[in-house]
C-alpha cells in the first residue's frame, strides 16, 4: 500500500481522538472521602448525562470549556469547567458537600374532611382552569385560568401580538432555548426531571432563573397552581410547547 494511504489512516485516527473526548472522574463525599453512587453528571453544553457507578466513577463526552453539573440529593451541586487536564488525566476526584437542613414539623390540613363522600365532595375545590385550543398550533392549547372574559382575552391578546408577548421572552436566549429539543429527546434526563421540583437543572441548562421560568409560564397562560405543583419535566414540556408556538408565529 502507498504512503498516502497510511498517512490518511493516521490523520483520520488522530482527528477522531481529538473529537472523541471524554472526562472520567470519581465523585466522593467531602466529609469521609467515600465514593458516592448514582450522582447525576450533566454536560450543560451538549445536553448529555452520566451517572456514577458503585465506585463513584463516571465517564461523559466533553470538550474543553464545556460545563459539567454534578447533582445528588442532599448534597450541594457543583459546576466544573472542562480543561485539558480533566480530559488528559482520568479519575479526577470531585468532592460533594452535604447540605445542612434544619426541618421544622409542619402539619398540613388543606381540607377538613369528614369521611362522608357527599359532604367532602362539596368541600374540596374544583380546578376550574380552562385551556383554549388554537387551530394551527401544535400544543393542546393555553391554560388560561378561571372562567371569565379576561381569561380568553389574555389568550387572544397573546396570539395576535406575538412579538409583544413572546419575542421578549424567547428572543433574548435563542442558543439556550435550542437545547429544548435535545433535552426532551434525552430519556435519562427526562427521568431525572420527572422526580425533581426545584427547577435547578432547568435553570442551569437554559440560563434562566426561577423568576424567568415563572414569567414565561404565566405569559404562556399556565395557571399559578400548575407553576407551583408541576415537576421539572412538566415545566420543560410547557416551556418547549410555548417556544414551538413562538417559532411558528414568528415565521408567519
Q: 120 in helix, strand or coil?
A: helix
Number of structural domains the chain divides into: 2
Residues of the chain with pLDDT > 90: what percent?
A: 44
Residue 35 domain boundaries: 3-96
- Same domain, residue pair 68 and 131: no
Highest mean pLDDT (candidates 17-21, 108-112, 115-119, 218-222): 218-222
CATH number at residue 56: 2.60.40.1120
- Asked if residue 209 lies in contact with residue 240, where contact means CB atoms within 8 angstroms, the answer is no
Total Cβ atoms within 10 A of residue 68: 23
Residue at 103 is within a domain: no
- Same domain, residue pair 39 and 131: no
- Same domain, residue pair 144 and 232: yes
Residues of the chain with pLDDT > 70: what percent?
A: 62
pLDDT value, residue 55? 97
pLDDT of 212 strictly over 70 = yes
Joined together, the cell numbers standing for residue 115 give 369521611
> For residue range 101-147, what is the model confidence (pLDDT) as tens digits?
544 454 555 555 555 555 555 555 544 555 544 444 444 454 544 44
- Same domain, residue pair 73 and 168: no
pLDDT value, residue 222? 86
pLDDT value, residue 112? 58
> For residue range 78-87, what is the model confidence (pLDDT) as tens digits?
999 999 999 9
In the sheet with 92-96, reading across from the earlier edge strand, the strands are: 57-61, 22-29, 92-96
Instruction: Give the CA dihedral 213, 232, 50, 100, nearest 10 degrees.
Output: 90
pLDDT, averaged across the chain: 76
> For residue range 148-177, what is the model confidence (pLDDT) as tens digits?
444 444 444 544 444 455 666 676 667 777
pLDDT value, residue 165? 53
Amino acid at each position: 500500500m502507498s504512503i498516502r494511504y497510511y498517512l490518511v489512516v493516521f490523520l483520520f485516527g488522530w482527528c477522531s481522538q481529538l473529537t472523541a473526548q471524554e472526562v472520567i472522574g470519581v465523585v466522593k463525599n467531602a466529609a469521609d472521602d467515600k465514593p458516592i453512587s448514582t450522582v447525576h453528571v450533566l454536560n450543560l453544553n451538549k445536553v448529555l448525562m452520566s451517572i456514577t457507578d458503585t465506585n463513584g466513577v463516571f465517564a461523559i463526552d466533553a470538550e474543553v470549556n464545556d460545563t459539567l453539573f454534578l447533582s445528588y440529593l442532599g448534597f450541594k451541586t457543583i459546576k466544573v469547567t472542562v480543561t485539558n487536564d480533566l480530559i488528559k488525566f482520568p479519575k479526577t476526584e470531585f468532592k460533594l458537600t452535604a447540605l445542612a437542613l434544619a426541618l421544622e414539623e409542619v402539619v398540613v390540613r388543606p381540607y377538613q374532611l369528614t369521611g362522608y363522600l357527599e359532604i367532602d365532595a362539596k368541600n374540596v375545590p374544583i380546578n376550574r382552569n380552562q385551556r383554549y385550543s388554537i387551530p394551527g398550533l401544535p400544543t393542546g392549547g393555553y391554560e388560561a385560568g378561571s372562567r371569565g372574559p379576561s381569561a380568553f382575552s389574555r389568550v387572544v391578546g397573546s396570539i395576535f401580538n406575538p412579538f409583544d408577548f413572546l419575542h421578549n421572552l424567547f428572543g433574548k436566549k435563542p442558543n439556550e432555548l435550542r437545547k429544548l429539543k435535545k433535552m426532551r429527546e434525552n430519556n435519562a434526563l427526562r427521568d431525572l426531571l420527572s422526580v425533581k421540583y426545584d427547577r435547578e437543572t432547568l435553570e442551569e441548562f437554559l440560563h434562566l432563573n426561577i423568576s424567568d421560568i415563572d414569567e414565561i409560564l404565566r405569559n404562556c397562560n399556565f395557571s399559578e397552581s400548575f407553576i407551583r405543583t408541576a415537576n421539572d419535566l412538566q415545566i420543560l414540556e410547557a416551556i418547549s410547547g410555548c417556544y414551538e408556538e413562538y417559532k411558528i408565529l414568528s415565521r408567519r
